[in-house]
Structure 1
C-alpha cells in the first residue's frame, strides 16, 4: 500500500551547535560549556563533511526547512552559519525562501551578528526568552534580564522576517493571574509565533536534584492543567491559537521545520548528539550522533561522520511514532496513513471509549485529533490507542 503524504511532511535538515555560555539548571539537551574559544572553522568543516555523508545516504532531496539548534547557535560566527548553509545547498536542492531558523539566547545577541546571520540566509529566529520577570529568569539560570530580552526581541523584529520566542510557565508559585498577565505582555511583543512550555523536571539536571531535595515545588497537576487551559484561551483570543501542544502561531506562521517532525516527515540530523530519521532503502532509519563535541569532530575527521547509534524501525514502531507525534497537532492525524504504516486501523472500541471520555475527536471521516483535555494526558491517550 502506498503511504499518502500527510499535508507535505517535508524533508528537513537539523544542525546541532552544542556549545553554551552556561548550562541552565532545567536543561537536558546536549549542551556543553567550554572556557576556551571553540575552533569554529574546524567544526564548520566537520559539519560540511557529515552533511556530504548524509547526502550519500539520502540521495537527492528537496529541502523544505533548515534548523540550527543547540546549545546556543547564536554563539556561532555568521561566517560559520554561512558555511554550513552553503554546504546544505551543495548537497541537496534548497529552494529560494524556505524557512531557515536559528535559535538565539538574548545574552548573546548583537545587532551586527544578527545582520550577519540574515546575510548568510537565516530568515527566522527563535529566542530563548523563557520569562518576562527578572526573579524567575534568575531562578531558571538565564544569563539575561528582561531588559536584554526585550532588546533582543526588538532587534530580531527589525532584522528578520520571522520571529518566535519561548516562555516557560507553571513555575514555582506562579498563579493564573500572574501567568495571564505575563502572557498578555508576551503577545504584545510577539510577531507571529510563540512556544510556551510547562516547566518539567528532567532526570540528571540540577533541577532534578533540587526538586528531589524539596528546595522548590511545582504546581500540582490540577493547577498545571488550569494554567494550560488559560494559555489556550488567551493565545486563541489574540489570534495565536495552538497548532501543537506547546506552539502557537498566526495562521500560516507555523514552524515549517517542527511540522516536519510532527507530521512524521524525514529529516537529517548533523552535529554532536543530533538525531535523524529518513527513509533509506525503503525503510525509516534512525541515526544518533556522538554527544561529546570533541569526540564527534574526531570521528567525523576519521570516518566522515559522527553517527554512533541508530536503528531501522519496524512498521509497528513507525506507526507508534506517527501517533505520538501527530496527535500533538491540532490538525491531528491522517487515519489512512496510520493504517498504511501499521497494517491495521485503530481499535474502534478504544476510539469510542476515548471519545466518550472527551479525549479525542474525529475531524471529518479521515482524521483524528486530541481534544484540549486529551492534550493534557496525551501520553496515556497514545498508549491506549497503540495497544
Structure 2
C-alpha cells in the first residue's frame, strides 16, 4: 500500500446524478430522466462550481479525481473531457494523477470507453454487483452476466487499471455459492475488487419489501460467515482487504478512496456532493443542493450550488479520523489522533479491546482493528470515541 505516513492527499469528487434506472437497493443521489440531459449545460455548471470551490481551497495539487454517480458512463466523452479540463484549470494535475470513472456494464460501448481513455480517465470502476442473472434481475440491474463479462474484458483492454463491485449477503446466498462466485470474480479481476454486504436502506423499495417480509436477508451470524469467507478467499488469491470492503493486489489500492480513509482533503462538486478541506486553517464541510436541476439553476444564478456546511471542531475531526482510519488494514496513527483530539485515545479502552481480540497495535504508534474487530467495527469505533 502507499506510504500511510505521507500527506493523505487532496482529491476531487465530481457527481453525475443521472441513471438509466434506479436500483431498488440504492439510496444514493441518483435520478432517472426520460428526456435527454443537456450535458454541455451541466458540464458548464460543474466547471463554474469548481472555480468557486477553488477560491476556497486555494492552489492545490490533486492526488486523484473520481467521477461518481449516478452513472457517469452515461456522459459523452466530450462531457468528461470538459469536466477534466475544468479541473486542470483550477488545480494542479500531475502526470501520474489517478482519474477514476464509475461505469455500468449496460452503458458500455467500446467507442465510448476509448473516448473516456482519450480524455485522461485511467481507472474504471464497474458496477457488476452479481455474476448470475437471477440475482442481477433481483438487484434491478439492466445488464446480464454476458454483458458484465464483456465490459470487464473491454475495460481490461483499454484502461491501465480496473475494478468492479459485487454485492453479497443476497437472499438465499449460501457460503459455498458466494465462495464459488467470488473465486470466479477474482479470475476476471485485474487488480481490485469492492465487495459490499447488501444493506437495506430506509427510503428504498427494498426497505418496504423487507419490512413486509418479502426480502429475507442473512441474520448476523450468517452475514459474519459470509464476511469471513470474503476475507479468506480474496487473501488466498492475492487480493487481501486493505479496507473493510475493498481488496487489491499490493500497490493497486484506490488512491482516491485512500484520501477519504486517511482523512485527507477533497472538494466535492455536482448535485448532492460533499467536500472536506482546510479553509483559513480549519477543516470545513460543504454540501450542495441534491436536485440536479435545482443545483444547476443555483450554479447559474450564483456560481455554485453549495447550500450548507460547517466548520469542524478538533474533537469532531478526531472522531471522523477514527471512524475513517479504522476501516483500513493499516489502521490509524495514534500521534495524529492525539494532535487532532488534544488528548490520546484512552489506554484503558484500548487495553480492553485488545483483551477482547478486537484491536491490535502496529509498532509503537499505530492501532488497527483485527479481523474480528472489522466484523463489529461500528461498536469498536463507538467504544474508542466515547
For this structure pair, what is the TM-score category when the shorter chain's length is used for normalisation? over 0.9
1:177 aligns with 2:176: yes
Q: Hey, what's the Cα distance between the residues in 1 that align with 2:304 and 2:380?
A: 38
Offset of residue 7 of structure 1: 3.1
Structure 1 residue 333, shift from structure 2 partner: 0.1
**1:312 maps to what in 2?**
311
Normalising by structure 2, what TM-score?
A: 0.99
Paired residue for 1:366? 365
Aligned to 1:278: 277
1:29 aligns with 2:28: yes
Could you tell me which residue of structure 1 aligns to residue 143 of structure 2? 144
Poorly superposed stretches of 4+, deviation over 4 Å: none
Question: Helix, strand or coil for the counterpart of 1:144?
Answer: coil
Hey, what does 2:238 align to over in structure 1? 239
Matched, 1:64 2:25: no
Deviation (angstroms), 1:6 = 4.0
* Residue aligning to 2:188: 189
Q: How does 1:86-165 map to 2 (within 5 A)?
A: 86-165=85-164
Distance 1:309 1:183 in 2: 41
Q: Secondary structure of the equivalent of 1:349?
A: helix
- CA distance in 2 between counterparts of 1:137 and 1:310 reads 37
Matches within 5 A, 1:245-264: 245-264=244-263
Cα deviation digits, residues 46-97 of structure 1 (max 9, x gap): 0110000011100000000000000000000000000000100011110002
Partner of 1:336: 335
Partner of 1:221: 220
State the Cα distance separating 1:216 from its structure 2 match: 1.5
Deviation at 1:299, TM superposition (A): 0.2
Report if the CA contact (8 A) 2:360-2:367 is conserved.
yes
The count of aligned residue pairs is 383
Written as runs of structure 1 = structure 2, the 5 A alignment for 1:281-300 is 281-300=280-299
**1:74 maps to 2:73:** yes
CA drift at 1:8? 2.4
Residue segments in structure 1 that go unaligned for 5+ positions in a row: none
Give the equivalent residue in structure 2 for 1:42.
41
CA distance in 1 between counterparts of 2:365 and 2:96 reads: 32
Q: Deviations over 1:8-35 (max 9, x none)?
A: 2100000000000000000000000000
Per the TM alignment, residue 254 of structure 1 is displaced from its structure 2 partner at its CA by 0.1
Q: Deviations over 1:190-222 (max 9, x none)?
A: 000000000001010000000000001101111
Partners of 2:98 and 2:38 lie apart in 1 by: 27
1:376, distance to aligned residue in structure 2 (A) = 1.0
Give the Cα–Cα distance (whole angstroms) in 1 for the partners of residues 55 and 256 of structure 2: 22
SS in 2 for 1:323: helix
Q: Tell me the TM-score normalised to structure 1 length.
A: 0.98
Note if contact 2:349-2:384 (Cα within 8 Å) is conserved in structure 1: yes
Aligned to 1:259, what secondary structure does the other structure show? helix
CA contact (8 A) 2:206 2:215 kept: no
Q: Determine the structure 2 residue equivalent to 1:51.
A: 50
Q: Work out whether residues 6 and 263 of structure 1, in 8 Å CA contact, stay in contact via their aligned partners in 2.
A: no
DSSP-derived class of the 1:42 partner: helix
User: Quick one: distance in 1 between partners of 2:374 and 2:303?
Assistant: 41
Query: C-alpha root-mean-square deviation of aligned residues, in Å?
Result: 0.6
1:99-134 residue CA offsets vs partner (Å, 9 max, x unmatched): 000000000010000000000000000000000000
* SS of residue paired to 2:224: helix
Distance 2:28 2:382 in 1: 25
Secondary structure at the counterpart of residue 203 of structure 2: coil
Q: Aligned partners of 1:28, 1:324: CA distance in 2, in Å?
A: 21
